[in-house]
Amino acid sequence: MSRKATYITTPIYYVNAQPHLGHAYSTVVADTYSRFCRLRGDDVRFQTGTDEHGDKIVEAAAKEGVEPRRYVDTIAALFRDTWPLLNIGYDRFIRTTDEDHIAVVRQILQKVYDGGDIYFSQYSGLYCTGCERFLIERELVDGKCPDHLVAPKEITEQNYFFSMSKYQQRLIDHIRSHPEFVTPERYRNEVLSFLSDPLEDLCISRPASRLNWGIRLPFDDKYVTYVWFDALINYLTGIGYPDGPRFSHYWAGAEHLIAKDILKPHAIYWPTMLMAAGIDLYRKLHVHGYWNVDETKMSKSLGNVIRPSQLVEDYGVDTFRYFSLREMSFGLDASFSHDAVIARNNADLANDLGNLFSRSLSMIEKYCDSTVPRPDAADKDRELQDAARTMCDSYLKQMGDFRFHLGLQAVWEFVAAANRYIVHNEPWALARDGQQQPRLQTVLYNLAESLRLLALVLKPVMPGTAEKMMRGLGISPDSEEMQTLEQGGRWGLSMPGTRLVKIRNLFPRIDVKPRKEAVKPELPQDTDQQAGQTIEFDQFKAVDLRVARVVGAERVEKSERLLKLSVLAPEARTIVSGIAGSYAPEELVGRNVIIVANLKPAKLMGIVSQGMVLTAQGRDENGKDRFILPAVDQSVEPGGRIA
């Protein structure tokens, strides 16, 4: 059976600015989708690139005092060098200054011209000599060009026009009969509403006497092509239009990805251009919203432009990829903040996924000599297997429909199910009980298998992390069962006997500065209370008791008594606790404990402890003293006050 061909494209970015968060988002989405489609079994091609002609670029080059050619080479290289930092694996990086592109643009112009859909006519507009372009009324401030502070001249210029209006009804019919042509639906409605008014024809040339940085019209070399008529055609050039084998293979599967700012050129100019050139329309247009920064528009003048290279340096590539896909509901605007990235990293990645991985692997290491154990064939644990199937089904649907945040939500529901599975089954208790060896093996096998499935579905989103997980599980990333969901999406493919490989933390926690707390009154010196003595209510109120979630636990070197705990309360803290004789580190991770949060920090074995864990004194089964942690329901969020 032949595989479905999918061709995903990003906008080609103007080289008048350096890559920023918005460009990075579109390109990460396209990369993730292309990897997802491969996982689904499609034959995929992925293209990105740069848009290098037109007024804007000439202006930007002039500002830098260099020739356009040198300028575009420099900035295009900046884009090209940024994408590997984000683990973007495109098949072609296209530039509108590429020779093959120039040839295809000229070919299409000629075809449309020969078909009678390009005509010569007069154009009147407000021309600013300083800007060397026509301005529209909206751009003027008090009737003047805001940059040059002069009133633009009314100019009548002869130009070439594309008969776009001729295709209006055909386009409306196509959108109506193909509900998925423009998605999400809000943008489809926006396009239909725009098309409810008569469409004007499109001016597609600029006199070369005024702008010569462009592609000459094949039928009149005194003119260059308008930048949009040039840029949109990149989608055809990149797959070898008109007669390359890739064109016939991939074009029917073309899916364009853009943000809402360029909806009109993609949903109106482009399909009508294709109609006029006698080429089938693309399959889908996916439109996303805008990233704002701390609730304000990202802009150079506000100094809040977020650079992808900085994000990777600060947080790591996979944290950024995960964050951007999880945080933005595709189609709506989203707000970027450093706190939000850190919160996602610490909660979803370091805590939920990272701990599941390290806890499971360290238990297999400890109890099964670092090899995947053989499960008991009769012992099925249906609930976990059902949760895995539900995750795969939902993931496939949501990711395929560009609802990445919901796809990831489904994955994290399974992560939570696997973490609960550890808490319910208490492998450490099974290990203590000699009778329970078969059950222990089944539980640990199921955890390894859950992690294998997670690595598989996370491949498109966090390719580096998924590979690390596979290596940790002793699976080669090239192995057959890790290539597609069809091959690897079934339960039970982990091989007993596979040796694990030691992997460091998947996601280090990122420290947040503790939020400023209201100053709490100190307990008076003379109230070091003995049991039975009374205290004032105010004294009790001064003790800040909180629920903390343990997210990391390890033995303190050279101490039999102490454990170093990393907790969220909700901010990250380190607490040293004398419970090593009563609890193994892996029993604690993921568990809620009660802490005294405003105890003066104290140094224990060289580690600063920021609080104290409360325990009850009890006895173990042999009658020996044991500290027991009071149970706090897992539904209480870290930081919940005890009152």
Contacts with ligand ME8, residue ranges (CB under 6 A): 11-14, 22-23, 25-26, 51, 231-232, 234, 258-259, 261-262, 290-291, 298
Which residues are paired to 259 by β-bridges?
288
Q: Is 53 a catalytic residue?
A: no
With 0-12 CB in 10 A as exposed, 13-18 as middle and 19+ as buried, what is 81? Answer: exposed
Q: Spot the catalytic one: 4, 153, 178, 300.
A: 300
Q: Cβ of residue 15: shortest distance to ligand ME8, in angstroms?
A: 8
Residue type, 596: V
For ligand ME8, which is the closer residue by CB, 291 or 421?
291
Q: Cβ of residue 170: shortest distance to ligand ME8, in angstroms?
A: 22
**Ramachandran sector of residue 497 (left: φ over 0; alpha: ψ -120 to 50; beta: rest):** left
Which residues are paired to 45 by β-bridges?
7
**Alpha-carbon distance values, 53 to 219, 223, 355, 368, 456 (Å):** 19, 13, 50, 63, 41
180, 149 Cβ separation under 8 angstroms: no
Which tokens in the block code for residue 122?
């007069």
For ligand ME8, which is the closer residue by CB, 22 or 354?
22
Q: Cβ of residue 518: shortest distance to ligand ME8, in angstroms?
A: 37
Q: Cβ of residue 216: shortest distance to ligand ME8, in angstroms?
A: 20
Which tokens in the block code for residue 596?
């005294």
For ligand ME8, which is the closer residue by CB, 25 or 36?
25
Quote the CA–CA distance of 166 and 279 in Å, as a whole number: 16
Q: Up-side HSE of residue 488: CA atoms within 13 Å toward CB?
A: 29
Which residues are paired to 124 by β-bridges?
156
Distance of CA 77 to the CA centre of its chain: 23
Q: Is 23 a catalytic residue?
A: yes
Q: Is 131 a catalytic residue?
A: yes
**Alpha-carbon distance values, 372 to 505, 549, 585 (Å):** 20, 29, 21
Q: Cβ of residue 98: shortest distance to ligand ME8, in angstroms?
A: 14
For ligand ME8, which is the closer residue by CB, 23 or 188?
23
Q: State the pairing for strand pair 220-225/216-217.
A: antiparallel
Q: Cβ of residue 55: shortest distance to ligand ME8, in angstroms?
A: 12
For ligand ME8, which is the closer residue by CB, 285 or 579?
285
Using alpha carbons only, how large is the chain's radius of gyration in Å?
31
For ligand ME8, which is the closer residue by CB, 307 or 626?
307
Q: Cβ of residue 17: shortest distance to ligand ME8, in angstroms?
A: 6
* 310 three-class SS: helix
Please, what is the angle between helix 317-327 and helix 21-40, to 10°? 90
For ligand ME8, which is the closer residue by CB, 250 or 291?
291
For ligand ME8, which is the closer residue by CB, 163 or 304?
304
My answer on whether omega of the bond before 521 falls inside 30° of 0, hence cis, is no
454, 465 Cβ separation under 8 angstroms: no
Nearest-CA neighbor of 347 among 332, 364, 327? 327
388, 450 Cβ separation under 8 angstroms: yes
Quote the CA–CA distance of 466 and 486 in Å, as a whole number: 17
For ligand ME8, which is the closer residue by CB, 276 or 565?
276
Which tokens in the block code for residue 387?
């949760």
For ligand ME8, which is the closer residue by CB, 32 or 234?
234
* 569 three-class SS: coil
Name, in order, each residue with C-beta under 8 angstroms of 78's C-beta and a sequence gap of 6 or more.
18, 19
Q: Which residue is closest to ligand ME8 by CB?
A: 22
Q: Spot the catalytic one: 297, 397, 424, 541.
A: 297
For ligand ME8, which is the closer residue by CB, 9 or 592?
9
Name, in order, each residue with C-beta under 8 angstroms of 43's C-beta and a sequence gap of 6 or more.
3, 4, 5, 6, 249
* 461 three-class SS: coil
Residue type, 220: D
Which tokens in the block code for residue 426?
């208490």
Exposure class string for 364-393: b at 16+ Cβ within 10 A, else e: beebbebbbbebbeeeebeebbebbeebbe
Q: Is 297 a catalytic residue?
A: yes
For ligand ME8, which is the closer residue by CB, 232 or 576?
232
Nearest-CA neighbor of 6 among 470, 482, 460, 466? 460
Q: Cβ of residue 82: shortest distance to ligand ME8, in angstroms?
A: 13
Q: Cβ of residue 78: shortest distance to ligand ME8, in angstroms?
A: 12
Exposure class string for 245-254: b at 16+ Cβ within 10 A, else e: ebbebbbebb
Q: Is 249 a catalytic residue?
A: no
Q: Spot the catalytic one: 4, 148, 222, 397.
A: 148
Q: Cβ of residue 320: shortest distance to ligand ME8, in angstroms?
A: 14
Q: Cβ of residue 261: shortest distance to ligand ME8, in angstroms?
A: 5
Nearest-CA neighbor of 47 among 97, 89, 4? 89
> DSSP letter at 251?
G
Q: Spot the catalytic one: 131, 203, 249, 366.
A: 131
Q: Spot the catalytic one: 128, 256, 286, 468.
A: 128
Q: Cβ of residue 203: shortest distance to ligand ME8, in angstroms?
A: 17
Catalytic residues, by residue number, are 20, 23, 128, 131, 145, 148, 297, 300
